[in-house]
Structure 1
Amino acid sequence: MDFLSLSGAVLAGGKGERMASQDKGLLLFRGEAMALSVGLALRQVTSCVFINANRNSERYADLGFEVIADDPFYQGKGPLSGLATCLAFAKTSHLLVSPCDTPCISSDAFSQLISASKMFPNRIHYLSDAFGGHPLHAILPVESALIMLKDFLDKSERYSVMAFYKAFGCKPVLWDKSEELLNVNTPDTLG
Structure 2
Amino acid sequence: MSSYPGVILAGGEGTRLGTVDKGLVEIGGARLIERVIDRLAPQCATLAISANGDPKRYAEFGYPIIPDATAQMQGPLAGVLAGLDWAATKGFEAIVTVATDTPFFPTDLVARLSQVSRPEGFGIAVTEEDGKTRWHPTFGLWPVSLRDDLRVALARHQRRMVQFAESKGAVPVLFESPTPAELFFNINTVEDLAQAEEMLARV
Q: What TM-score, normalized to structure 1?
A: 0.88
CA distance in 2, matches of 1:146, 1:39: 24
1:138: which partner in 2?
Answer: 140
CA distance in 1, matches of 2:21, 2:65: 14
Q: Identity of aligned pairs, percent?
A: 31
2:37: which partner in 1?
Answer: 39
Amino acid corresponding to residue 65 of structure 2 in structure 1 = V
| CA displacement, residues 125-161 of structure 1 (integer Å, 9 cap, x when unaligned) | 111111311010000111x11011012122x333111
Where does 1:124-135 land on structure 2 (aligned, <5 Å)? 124-131=122-129, 132-135=134-137
Which segment is superposed worse, 23-32 or 105-114? Answer: 105-114
2:116 counterpart SS class: helix
CA distance in 1, matches of 2:143, 2:71: 19
1:53: which partner in 2?
Answer: 51
Contact 2:7–2:47, Cα closer than 8 Å, also in 1: yes
Amino acid corresponding to residue 18 of structure 2 in structure 1 = A
1:10 counterpart SS class: strand
2:43 counterpart SS class: coil
**Where do 5+ consecutive residues of structure 1 fail to align?**
none
1:82 counterpart SS class: helix
Contact 1:6–1:46, Cα closer than 8 Å, also in 2: yes
Contact 2:104–2:185, Cα closer than 8 Å, also in 1: yes
CA distance in 1, matches of 2:6, 2:80: 11
| CA displacement, residues 40-72 of structure 1 (integer Å, 9 cap, x when unaligned) | 22211113101111134222121342212113x
2:78 aligned residue (71, 81, 101): 81
Amino acid corresponding to residue 96 of structure 1 in structure 2 = V
Contact 2:3–2:45, Cα closer than 8 Å, also in 1: no
CA distance in 2, matches of 1:110, 1:47: 11
- Say whether residues 1:26 and 2:28 are aligned partners: no
Where does 1:136-175 land on structure 2 (aligned, <5 Å)? 136-142=138-144, 144-154=145-155, 156-175=156-175
The offset of 1:26, in angstroms, is 0.9
Aligned length: 183
| Higher Rg of the two aligned structures | 2
Q: What TM-score, normalized to structure 2?
A: 0.83
1:190: which partner in 2?
Answer: 193
CA distance in 2, matches of 1:184, 1:158: 24
The offset of 1:173, in angstroms, is 0.4
CA distance in 2, matches of 1:39, 1:122: 29
Contact 1:99–1:136, Cα closer than 8 Å, also in 2: yes
Amino acid corresponding to residue 129 of structure 1 in structure 2 = T
Amino acid corresponding to residue 80 of structure 2 in structure 1 = L
CA distance in 1, matches of 2:71, 2:39: 27
Contact 1:74–1:81, Cα closer than 8 Å, also in 2: no
The offset of 1:75, in angstroms, is 2.8
1:94: which partner in 2?
Answer: 94
CA distance in 2, matches of 1:158, 1:69: 19
